[in-house]
Amino acid sequence: MSKALLRYIRLSPTKARLIAREIQGMNAELAIASLEFTPNKAARIISKVLASAVANGGYDAQEVVVLSCRVDAGPVLRRFMPRAKGRATPIRKPTSHVFVEVGTPKDSVKKTESAKKAASTPKTSKVTSTKSETSESKPKQEKAKATESKPTKKAATKSTAAKTSKTTEGEGK
């Protein structure tokens, strides 16, 4: 499996994603050939990144499959156009990062199996603890429960003081 990444290319990510989705799962040679005849700026750029990914792995284009082709948004260049009456309107010039991953068909099977396993297992935020941690935490939990059920001395003295003040008030009347 080999990868290639082109960053900060002056290309709209939304337009490039349309082309990137077309080549996912295709044979690399077929993908490069189809991108050559696509009349789009994104197709030319993705074709070059795909060829680079194939070369990075030392593969032949006929042997490999495009495992993933992802286009992420980069920073946006902000420019302004002068308008009438001293106003200015913003112009957004988006950039993008193109990531292509290629591998043999065996790699694609392994990748899909691992993705299925990750999707089928429930994600929990709790971390499993070791035996020593659980044995230490149980007495702490029991102590916490015991203190919750028993009133503290301060609370007991406050409640008795409140009772005595009520009885003394009633006797005075």
Would you say residue 11 has pLDDT above 60?
A: yes
Would you say residue 4 has pLDDT above 60?
A: yes
Neighbours of 11 (CB within 10 A): 22
Please write the tens of the pLDDT for every residue from 76-117.
Answer: 999 999 999 999 999 999 999 999 999 998 876 776 677 777
Report CA-CA distances (Å) from 72 to 15, 17, 68, 75, 130. 11, 9, 13, 10, 40
Domains and CATH numbers, the chain: 2-113 (3.90.470.10)
Q: Which secondary-structure segment (H or E) carries 36?
A: helix 28-36
What's the pLDDT at 33?
95
User: The pTM is what?
Assistant: 0.63
